[in-house]
Structure 1
């Protein structure tokens, strides 16, 4: 049997059209057309509230359940609508491919004073400043969720680098003392950093928390 994947979203899908509800209504028709897999966008809360598709990650435990970043629903709807969408897809023999983003986090809840060095945007292996202190929003406490599902709070040691005042900075702490994480892609010298607060996977606490989240999400 041939398998067919349908991407059920695009970047500009409007909040008003309620993507989870739309997908639920169309599940039966998709199945009749021969669709076997549906790719859904990130379900977690964006730092941009309900105006962004979920790639500007704020809280991966908030699937449209908590009043955070100015909204309860995500751009796509509420947690209940998301779960109903999955149920409708499964009821019509359609598998779900969930898009998740674990690489970075946007707009923490509190600022910390952290030590950094600036690196060249063209070659991030090249340090172009001395060590200096900045204030950055790298502490994520998720007050709107109030510890439900996880008590873990992210601080600057959970991140390798960040963009601050338009400049890429390497955060200095025990896990990043050897520089960026080693990646196969050598674009910009090292392509570990993409945007926002770049997650530090060498921190064991981060890896444990992410594995707990995967178990919870599934």
Structure 2
């Protein structure tokens, strides 16, 4: 789903628009997750299958490789980034700093030519093979730049040991010509035979309603609804070697996919794409119901954005009820299929953002940073510190140690020699202190955020007193 700006939906004639936990610790993952525990040296892909790297750092650069639950993603755009064709160059100029900070992947906006030409954010796709090199829809370049600039960006990201994810819009198309449609008895804007690339031409036969049925799971914004049941559409999207998926992966060198508005079609579509094309994938299934998110992720064989976590964080941090963080979330069901986030280009509800980032960057799941939060709004030094903590300390499964309206304490239990951490989040207006049980006996620990100057030593029974500043957080681990 995305913001509905009238400008991007102009199509000649049509313009449519859309309990509180006790101090007793409770493990957030069950016994089977023990086999899925990860550490920085244990890399796991999007479907939960482990593969060995020997070390999760590149032996050439020492920078962290991408893996869900072990990496950090940057959403490298926001809604209405500056038009004028310079966005690819803007992102390119930031890649080295992002990589040095420990960010392992970037998610780009839809890169192909869309109906609203130089003003489009890409969510109204016309020609999947025009990356800013054909004169159509009133422009040669896209809003973001030229194909050459996009290729340079991807090449630079790979040189920095970063993965690049393409935003893919498969539900709907826009910008076709009017044609008589025997299935509707009217004219529809479904003639894409004149697209400049000449690849993946489409007519009314390839959109609902058609010979395959009246509709699929959902349509969006009045746009022509692409029919994935059509073998011709399947062939061009994910089967043929020069089709959309394989061209993006093998020629353009994208490493993975963010699938837009996956409520609009069955999860089998993403499953088939993943089976034929490969690469990391995450779906935008906008639903706070964790059962629904888990159902979609399992059937799509894909990661999914953890909207359950997003809405719980909003209620917890902005509603002064941190006990809500005990509730179920996708990362607790399967951290290797959960992409966590605080803000994105569509929704920006959480006001206590640093507390939310301290949560997702210390907990399981694949955390995502939002460009504006990182580059413009929040303290970049604090976010870089949390990225470092995530990449170096946030290992093992999670135990919630304490929660009430104002305080939340959780422990990452460590893995394979990495000691893990204890995170303390305080949403009150005064300093707080609390005794907690760690995994470390008679060991000096410290706060790796620098928000506390304490260097306490745990007792022989592993208990220790820690502290946290008002409206702040601390992250404790072995002082080494």
TM above 0.5, yes or no, is yes
2:181 match: 114
Unmatched 5+ stretches in structure 2: 1-39, 41-69, 250-480
Match of 1:193 among 175, 199, 219: 219
**Correspondences of 1:30-49 after superposition (within 5 Å):** 30-49=98-117
Q: 1:18-33 residue pairs with structure 2 within 5 A?
A: 18-33=86-101
What displacement does 1:17 show?
6.7
Tell me which residue corresponds to 2:187.
135
Larger radius of gyration: 2
Mapped pair 1:154 → 2:191? no
TM-score where L is the length of structure 1: 0.76
Instruction: Structure 1 unaligned segments of length 5 or more: list them.
Output: 118-132, 161-170, 184-191
Superposed displacement of residue 208, structure 1: 0.6
Give the Å deviation of 1:16. 3.2
Cα distance in 2 for partners of 1:91, 1:142 equals 37
The aligned counterpart of 2:248 is 217
- For 2:247, what is the secondary structure of its paired residue? helix
Q: CA deviation at 1:111?
A: 1.8
Instruction: Write the deviation string for residues 69-118 of structure 1: whole angstroms up to 9, x where unpaired.
Output: 0101111100000000001111111111111111111020x32111456x
Give 1:144 shift.
Answer: 2.9
Q: Which of 53, 68, 80 is residue 148 of structure 2 equivalent to?
A: 80
Cross-structure match for 2:400: none
Question: CA 1:135 to 1:17, structure 2 compared with 1: closer, same or farther past 3 Å?
Answer: closer
Mapped contact 1:159–1:198 kept (Cα < 8 A): yes
Residues 1-52 of structure 1, C-alpha deviations (whole Å, 9 max, x = no match)? 3411111101110113711001111111111111111111111001000101
Distance in 1 between the 2:234 and 2:85 partners?
Answer: 36
Does the 8 A contact of 2:85 with 2:146 survive in 1? no
Contact 1:104/1:197, CA 8 A, preserved across alignment: yes
Distance between the aligned counterparts of 1:50 and 1:23, measured in 2? 18
Answer yes or no: is 1:204 the counterpart of 2:236. no
Paired with 2:98 and 2:158, the residues of 1 have a C-alpha distance of 12
Tell whether 2:212 aligns with 1:175: yes
Q: What SS is found at the alignment partner of 2:92?
A: helix
Contact 1:47 1:58 (8 Å CA) reproduced: yes
| Contact kept? 1:59, 1:142, Cα under 8 Å | no
C-alpha deviation, 1:194, in angstroms = 1.6
Distance 2:235 2:119 in 1: 30
8 Å CA contact 2:178, 2:191 repeated in 1? yes
Shifted more, 206-215 versus 57-66: the winner is 206-215
User: Per the alignment, in what secondary structure is the counterpart of residue 50 of structure 1?
Assistant: helix
Q: Please say if residues 9 and 40 of structure 1, whose CA atoms lie closer than 8 Å, have aligned partners that are also in contact.
A: yes
Instruction: Pick the structure with more helix per residue.
Output: 2
Relative distance call for 1:46 and 1:143 in structure 2 (3 A) is closer
Find the aligned partners of 2:116 and 2:84 in 1 and give their Cα distance. Answer: 16
Take 2:101 and 2:231, find their aligned partners in 1: how far apart are those partners?
Answer: 45
What is the Cα-based RMSD across aligned positions, in Å? 1.6
